[in-house]
A and B are shown apart, each in its own frame.
Chain A
Amino acid sequence: MTQDPYASARETTEGTVYSVTGGDWDSVVTEIGATKEERVVVNMGPQHPSTHGVLRLILELEGETVTETRCGIGYLHTGIEKNTEFRNWTQGVTFVTRMDYLSPIFNETAYCLGVEKLLGITNDVTERATVIRVMMMEFNRISSHMVALGTGALELGALSPMIFAFREREKVLDIFEMISGLRMNMAYVRPGGLAQDLPKEALGKIRETIKDLRHNFKDNEKLLIGNSIWIKRTQGIGYLDLAGCTTLGITGPVLRATGLPWDLRKAQPYCGYENYQFDIPTTDTCDVYGRFLIRMQELEQSLRIIEQCVVKLEKLEGEPVMVADKKIAWPSQLSVGGDGMGNSLNHIREIMGESMEALIHHFKLVTEGFRVPVGQVYTAIESPRGELGVHLVSDGGTRPYRVHFRDPSFNNLQATAAMCEGGQISDVIAAVASLDPVMGGVDR
């Protein structure tokens, strides 16, 4: 046996184990071909580029057919749920936004809706704050779907869609940067409202971006919809029907690809989604192609909602974006400076130079936070990947007693075995990509 620096082999009681880390596969393939054993167990990941982050797939193969699939997760477990129990309720936002890093605004909003429900101030949140939340969520849905489509296509060998998708995502991230000062993990939504109002130039820029996005989405549509290679790689692949989805608790585009128009924005509206005109795209193919089509169509629906938000925001100009209750509203007024978001200088002047009471109030609320009455809630919103549920328990103190995120990626990844077993190894990539798992959300 020659020693290949990229593909070393060692004997174990279970058989020969090969470690393949890149480079030349020829020696491994030749050696495996020489053995009589047909059954091969392949560990794909946790650092494989096709697994969307640190997902480890354990595949049992007979030739090129996958007979068994299992997922190994936990490589990105960061203990966010535990950490939030040691910080106050507002600081929790900064933690949870880092869970599913492709949909930070959804994490923040779901969490804040939960805290507001515990506080009993759901109806006190101003309309302007709610409309901005909706707008940010829909922008976030676009940027998240763009990554799903772009990387999904990339993993199947189509490079151009990725370039286009990331170009569009960049435009959305620019909007986030203009509004919150940050491109990802913004901690922009706060219990009671938002960290700050929109900057003056925001609506104009958003209108321009909507136009650009709508025009540019066509590029990817032209590339992929009806493309015969794309269809061959995705149609009939990763099949999961309605019964499979319900028993596995699968929601989001995967569920809608079975023909069921289940979307929490319509079924159990929150944040005033009942006041917006939009459709729920569905397909009935139950396969990767159907899920891809749904994501494509949801982009347009998100743009429709954003347009309606812009109209509403024009009318709500000047309304506050935080609840009036000063015992809950974060006292620090933020502004975007050259180096990101920070305290506004006017606020610093007031607490340091003008009002002793304002300083005390600021200090109490920032170091200790507000008390949240005893109880538990479960709030759920429709994230780009399905039902994002937040289970919050309060013991009456200033810190969460328990924060649990029911992340759709975590749940949906369970479908890997149902979708992949019996298929070809190359189709595993397509099936996993169609689930759009984000490991930050899976492992938390």
Chain B
Amino acid sequence: MSEKGMFGVQGSGDTSGFGGLVNANINIGSTQRPFGGYFDQVADDLERAYPLFSDAIEKVVVDRGELTLFIKRDRLFDVAKILRDQLKFEMCMGVSGVHYPEESGRELHAVYSLLSITRNQKIRLEVCVSDKDSHLPSLVEVWAGLNWHERETFDMFGIIFDNHPGLTRILMPDDWPGHPQRKDYPLGGIDVEYKGAVVPPPSDRREYR
């Protein structure tokens, strides 16, 4: 008999809600026009202001009353600039990453939420990059407030924002190995040391599945 973990837990039950099934697809597909609400207006305005619109947009998703524009990486900077200057999306509320290890070639998603005070509207941009080539153009030049948000996304997901004025870790220590918010990064993982005593990390004390 072998003992594992601190409290002798030998595998807790599966509480993931899938009951052992594998969830293959967590994409919700794309939406066709009409998008409804002010979303058509935003799409029209963008199409008018940006001739390469159809080339820049991978797909449009309208879900739960929110508009998401999936933008190709190479066009992201141009689209962002036009959204700010011509469509009056003055503010970018930040960028957040999501890691989908199952989507090969598009593992890392960067999600930007934009706000227009002039139009009183909100939209979302999503850009997908692969794990191996996780480069995105930095939008700090367009919205200076993205500086720390991009640093956080780099810190947590390892997305590299090219031309960022100083892309360093922001929340984790400078010499931290790995990017904690990725799905392959375990919870816990490191020993907790305090005054010489070492407590094993939470991931060794109990299994979370």
Contact = CB atoms under 8 A, between A and B. Distances in A.
A117 B63 CA distance: 10
B58 interface: no
A333 interface: no
A206 B99 CA distance: 46
Interface of B: 13, 15-18, 23, 26, 28, 63-66, 68, 90-94, 96-99, 111, 113, 115, 117, 120, 122, 124, 143-149, 152, 156, 169-173, 180-181, 185, 187, 208
Given A120-B64, A249-B143, A406-B93, A77 B171 contact: yes
A74 B171 contact: yes
A217 interface: no
Interface in A396-443: 396-399, 401-402, 404, 406, 410-411, 413-414, 443
Interface string A72-85: 01100101011101
A34 interface: no
Interface of A: 73-74, 77, 79, 81-83, 85-86, 88, 117-118, 120, 246-251, 260, 262, 267-268, 367-369, 371, 374-378, 380, 387, 389, 391, 393, 395-399, 401-402, 404, 406, 410-411, 413-414, 443-444
Nearest to B120: A267
Nearest to B149: A411
Contacts of B117: 246, 260, 262, 267
Contacts of A413: 148
Nearest to A70: B166
Main secondary structure on B side of the interface with A: loop
Contacts of A267: 117, 120
A249 B93 contact: yes
A265 to B, nearest CB: 13
Contacts, number: 124
Contact of B15 (A73, A79, A248, A367): A367
A442 to B, nearest CB: 9
Contacts of A250: 145
Given A81-B156, A247-B90, A395-B23, 10 more contacts: A118-B64, A249-B91, A374-B28, A376-B111, A378-B122, A393-B98, A398-B15, A406-B113, A414-B147, A443-B171
A20 B102 CA distance: 51
Given A117-B64, A248-B145, A406 B94 contact: yes
A398 B17 contact: yes
